[in-house]
Amino acid sequence: MAEPSDHTFLRDLLVVELGQRFGAGLCGSLFAELGATVIVVETDTPDAGSAKRPYRQSLAAGKRSLAVDPGAGNDVDLLVALIARSDVIIASPDDDPDWPAPVRAAIKGSHAIVADIKAFGDRGPLAGFGYPDALIQALAGSADTSGEPDGAPVLCRAPIIEVASALYVSAGVLAALRVRRLQGASQHVQAPLFDCAVGMLATFLPKHFSGGAVNRIGNHHPGMSPWNTYRTVDGWVLLCAGTDDQWRRVCALIGCPELTDDPRFKTNSDRVKNNAEVDPIIEAWTARLTIDQCVRELNSASISTGPILTIKDLNGEPNLSHRGMVRSLDGAAGRIAVPGTVFRGSIARGRIAGHVPAIDEDRAFVRQLADRPQSGAGPAQSRELQAPLSGVRVLEMGQFTTAPLVGRQLGALGADVVKLEPSNGEPSRHMPPHRNGQGYFFSLSNSEKRVMCLDLREPGRDRLLEELIAKADILVENTKPGTLPRHGFTPERILQINPRIVYCDISGFGSDTPSAGLGAMDTTIQGLSGVMDMTRSNGIPYKTGISIADLHAGQFALVAVLAALECRDRTGRGQYLDLAMLDAAAWATRSEWNLIDNARSYSVIKCADGYVVVGGDAGAESDLTRQALVDEFRAKGREAAPVLSVAETLAHAQATQSRVVTDGQSPSGEIWPLVACPIQLSLTPAQVSRAPGKLNGDADSVLRDWAVTWRPGVSTAA
């Protein structure tokens, strides 16, 4: 596609970043990238900014700075005037200073969208506690899914849960802005870190829901095999084969085609059960080759693969370099590394930070803003507010995690989402464990959607897709790169069919990179983005147990789609979004790009009944129970939390009272456990209540409701 014209997704949007959590800073950075004017409010109070202060230069890049002394009347008056004229206020109430009464009153009385970055939200016994990211990883089951089965849980040094919360809050704000624009009502938005983290356990929840015990699995995958790091002549290589067809290709590549008929390895379920026999067979082949040779051979067979890079190596990664994802700016203490933009559209592109403001550099600019008319929501157009995406039609051609995540969250926000599957079903539909022939993971990943088959290999289905595209507002897909163009559906043609459609194409590396066209799995992207470098135990890199690269890519895509929808409603033009998993994963590692001397560190301690995470350095073992050890550290003023298993997390009062897991009913009446949408809107809440049905089960209702004229053998589409 042609380069976009020089404009961003959002315009004339004023965001005031009051929050002191790291996630609040990330949320502000996302809106600055999308084109908003973001004022970061900085204070000198002793307890303010403790979480994001070490990262001040990176997080302030691309924003305007206003320093406020909460005890100075003139500063308070200026902040109150700024809040009154803002469109969005980003706060983190469980970590912010005690603002003076006029500031609190201004926030409460504002017509702005108020976005809160909180650890636990407003419900449950831990509501109001400002736990940091590492303790959320411990409490929400994330840490217990990372590392070897017989080893200690492994924390990721990157604030992966803060990133998720910032992305979901940003998506919620965009949805709330749509409600305000169309229905005249402002509201509060939040996506608590704990809720986000529990929802991100999706690859482990099926085993729990089906009665199994969830254990750490190292660098394996809970439902796919072969999937691991393998030794080579000069290091380690990742190999991630997610389907039976990919297993057949691996067998042919390593010279063992007979293994495809071996009953130990016939299905993913069989291979996962026999990982101890699969891995030596693979490593007997990789151990004879270099990393580069392995990657070249596996890529030639379209098997997801890659090396494990350190943070310092990111700038030399060819795909990241091509897209300018690692950049440098002059800061107060010298050159600093900052990310490029993940948001790449055909008519809009994310704004890349070009300046790091000095503290209070923009006071005069803020004074000018204070003179502009106040923001106002206006009268509501109806007594009963509609869902944020009411009337929005979405087509999803998704598999596994990324595009399905976008589809289910759009559905929870009120869109009419239609999932298009091949004739044999989306691959995850068949992933074990099953119930009545349908996988738990498929049900979790595809709530709030209708399902129908559309296989472009079958005659006439291109006509059906053309008619559906013509009627859709959004198309999101993560099919194998080149699939749609091979059938004639290039981005240009899709926009020709429907100039107002927002088309989001999620791929591993992006459409214009050296690796464009190659498949990618979560683990390979974790290895290439530095995530595995930051998830080490005894020097060994591990993937995070939760599929963090898939999840962050889906969350970025959700934000991109909603921002492009706002852009469309302003300009009348849809666009093509080129979203790369590697860009998203690298952006999420930004906290480690610059050497931070006073950043928080955490230790994992083995104790009598499990493990505990504690702030700072600590011994390796204790004879105390988890709770006794946590109490002891807290009595000394140190942060600490027990490492909970997935089962313990779901049974915790915080999870049950926050209702992070709910029940949904399929069209046939089956009840399935589902994950609630982490985006919480005070006036137009997200809804999760519908489990997906049988293959092609909703085809008739979709064709009827979308007024599609195509029928098998009777196509009347143009």
User: pLDDT tens, 399-423?
Assistant: 999 999 999 999 999 999 999 999 9
User: What is the pLDDT, as a whole number, of residue 376?
Assistant: 54
Is pLDDT of 291 > 70?
A: yes
Taking the CA atoms of 22, 25, 31 and 33 in sequence, report the sign of the dihedral they define.
Answer: negative
User: What is the pLDDT, as a whole number, of residue 420?
Assistant: 98
DSSP assignment of 479-504: PSTTHHHHTT--HHHHHHH-TT-EEE
Contact indicator for 193, 119 with CB cutoff of 8 Å: yes
Is pLDDT of 2 > 60?
A: no
Least confident interval from 125-139, 224-238, 441-455, 539-553: 224-238
The pLDDT tens digits of the residues spanning 655-666 come to 999 999 999 999
Contact indicator for 156, 534 with CB cutoff of 8 Å: yes
User: What is the pLDDT, as a whole number, of residue 598?
Assistant: 64
Domain 14-142+154-196+331-380 listed as CATH 3.40.50.10540 = yes
Least confident interval from 108-117, 223-232, 434-443: 223-232
| 464: confidence class by pLDDT, cuts 50, 70, 90 | very high
Is pLDDT of 696 > 70?
A: yes
d(CA 668, CA 99): 52
| 328: confidence class by pLDDT, cuts 50, 70, 90 | very high
The pLDDT tens digits of the residues spanning 304-325 come to 888 989 999 899 999 999 999 9
3-class state of residue 525 by DSSP: helix
User: What is the pLDDT, as a whole number, of residue 382?
Assistant: 53
Least confident interval from 255-259, 377-381, 507-511, 625-629: 377-381
User: What is the pLDDT, as a whole number, of residue 31?
Assistant: 98
Q: Considering only residues 554 and 714, tell me which one the structure prediction assigns the higher pLDDT.
A: 554
Q: Which of 362, 381, 366 lies closest to 84 in space, CA to CA?
A: 366
Q: What ranges do the domains of the chain cover?
A: 14-142+154-196+331-380, 601-651
Residue with tokens 């994330």: 142
Average pLDDT over residues 99-109: 95
The percent of residues in the chain predicted with pLDDT above 70, rounded, is: 96
d(CA 114, CA 612): 34
Contact indicator for 205, 673 with CB cutoff of 8 Å: yes
3-class state of residue 213 by DSSP: coil
Average pLDDT over residues 461-471: 97
The answer for residues whose C-beta is within 8 angstroms of residue 473's C-beta and 6 or more apart is 392, 393, 394, 415, 500, 501, 502, 565
DSSP assignment of 235-255: EEEEEE--SHHHHHHHHHHTT
Least confident interval from 182-186, 328-332, 571-575, 709-713: 709-713
Query: What's the token pair of residue 215?
Result: 């254990």
Residue 127 carries which DSSP code?
A: T
| 394: confidence class by pLDDT, cuts 50, 70, 90 | very high
Question: Angle at the Cα of 556 (from 646 to 593), degrees rounded to 5?
Answer: 85
Contact indicator for 343, 327 with CB cutoff of 8 Å: no
Question: What's the number of CA atoms in the CB half-sphere (13 Å) around residue 325?
Answer: 33
d(CA 328, CA 683): 41
Is pLDDT of 181 > 80?
A: yes
Residue 143 carries which DSSP code?
A: G
Average pLDDT over residues 176-182: 97
3-class state of residue 403 by DSSP: helix
User: What is the pLDDT, as a whole number, of residue 182?
Assistant: 97
| 332: confidence class by pLDDT, cuts 50, 70, 90 | confident
Least confident interval from 424-438, 468-482, 677-691: 424-438
**Mean of per-residue pLDDT scores for the chain:** 93
* DSSP element (H, E) containing 37: strand 37-42
Contact indicator for 239, 298 with CB cutoff of 8 Å: yes
The answer for residues whose C-beta is within 8 angstroms of residue 588's C-beta and 6 or more apart is 158, 160, 163, 529, 531, 548, 552
Query: What's the token pair of residue 323?
Result: 């897209």
Is pLDDT of 126 > 80?
A: yes
Torsion of CA 687, 689, 694, 697, to 10 degrees: -60
d(CA 387, CA 170): 17
First to last CA, the chain: 24
